[in-house]
Structure 1
Amino acid sequence: MSKVAIVTDSNSGITQELAEAMGISVLPMPFTIDGKEYFEGINLTQEEFYEYLKQDADIATSQPSPESVMNLWKELLKEYDEVVHIPMSSGLSGSCQTAIALADDFDGKVQVVNNHRISITQRRSVEDAVRLAKAGKSAREIREILEETKLESSIYITVATLKYLKKGGRITPAVAAIGTMLRLKPVLTIQGERLDSFSKARTMRQARQTMLDAVRNDIETRFGGVDAHEVYLDIAHTNNYEEALDFKKEVEEAFPGYQVGFVDSLSLSVSCHIGDGSLAIAATRILNR
């Protein structure tokens, strides 16, 4: 039986401390802030990031350097037979395609998973990979299973401000101005490769209900009407922990019997585009393999 190492990046929301407890490795995502390079969870905390965001600092996301990725794999392969690498969605960053190209030099010992996950759903994939490795699956088998089930998850996000969607070019200044005047609360979705617009609401309460309705529809249609014990429901936020805890209670009331797990921060790579004050809910079909 192969000894398989699991690698992900900090877009999963898995901290260095949690990674050590899980027995996995996490590559910190790099950011350039006002010309200086930072690494998530190393010399950049969530609190510091949102303070920079508040100050309108010039923030740009990047991807781990090829050297840092390959050096980690080489170090792990001294102890393990194979590596499963689970990066953020290829539709949201080039880091996945870079990793796939780099893995060509490792004679199949490194398997890069392109299953279009990020943040909480990416974290669930990492947990699945750990379980599959312990069950004796090879790195290739783990990659194939995770990619076969890549679309069995959804994230819905409502934002508190249109400022960052405008700044990132995802909406025009005119749309942002009208939306701000009307106090619209956009609901965004990540299903697969992209962060897309899903709906609009006039209040945060309406936005929360829209997200709950969307998750219920996914469970009944995309997930095939599975039972409560076959779905994880998780809550995420951007610098909005207290409201996220309140939203968790609402989710538990709306979905009795379902597992409502994490209340976690959305990855900083997503936060760059939506700002603070957001709420999100993720639905992930539980992998039974």
Structure 2
Amino acid sequence: MRIRRFDTRDRLVIAVLLGVAVVVDLAFIWGPAIASLALSFTAWNGVTDPSYVGVQNYDTIVNVYPPFWPAMRHNLLWLAFLGVVATPLGLFFAVLLDKQIRFTRLYQSALYLPVVLSLAIVGFIAQLVYSRDYGALNNILGRTSNPIDFLGDPSINIWAVLVAVGWRHTGYVMILYLAGLKAVDQSLKESAALDGASEAQTFFRVTFPTLRPVNIIVLVITVIEGLRAFDVVYAINRGRNGLELLSVLVTDNIIGEASRIGFGSAIAVILLLISLGFIVTYLVRTLREDR
């Protein structure tokens, strides 16, 4: 077989394409991340010169700043709900739709519909459903005379919002797994059936292991969605009164009235480290199993 050699024009095209991607990645992802890390060790309001304060911002966040730990708990709860409830539910729907049941296309479109909506729109829809004064849910439950304050009660509003977010996340995960299931070799399932494996055994021992690349994608998306959550709670009540999240704290400190860019950057770095911790741990474990 003849090996094609790259000429000068090919090398130039490859260099330009890769160069543009690398420059964009550095400018919009790694550049701001490194800048946030550097600013997290400073006190800066965006106007005067930044002054170095060491780890003072981190010490204040962990030991003094009241909203931090509630926001941390809410983010971890958000991540757990998406990972334990919404993601398995998306996989369940994908398995059902892969069986080509009647009206599969209709169900697939209906479940995927929330994904095309922005999280801000999901927040507005949540207000229409959960509102104490005009919400549809109180009318359905017959609580018009003594309505439940789903969004104003700090003990239940986080759960109400999680249901709305899970509604969207389930459709996203369903499409990813459905694409993965379509790529599974049918002969593997047939061989397992001939060997006497039940439908459940075939799925967990044959089908699901072949979905490992999809599992990695779903994990990364779930971690990102769980930790960068912002739009929904900000649209409902600006992330207060039981809906505090780390992303809201970052926004409030960087572009809020106080404009504490160094302090907000420190919270952003903590959020980044948590995200990397989940993703890197899973990837290392997966690579070890592959070896």
TM-score (norm 1): 0.28
Higher relative contact order (CA 8 A, sep 6+): 2
Higher strand proportion (structure 1 or 2): 1
Q: Which has the larger radius of gyration?
A: 2
Higher helix proportion (structure 1 or 2): 2
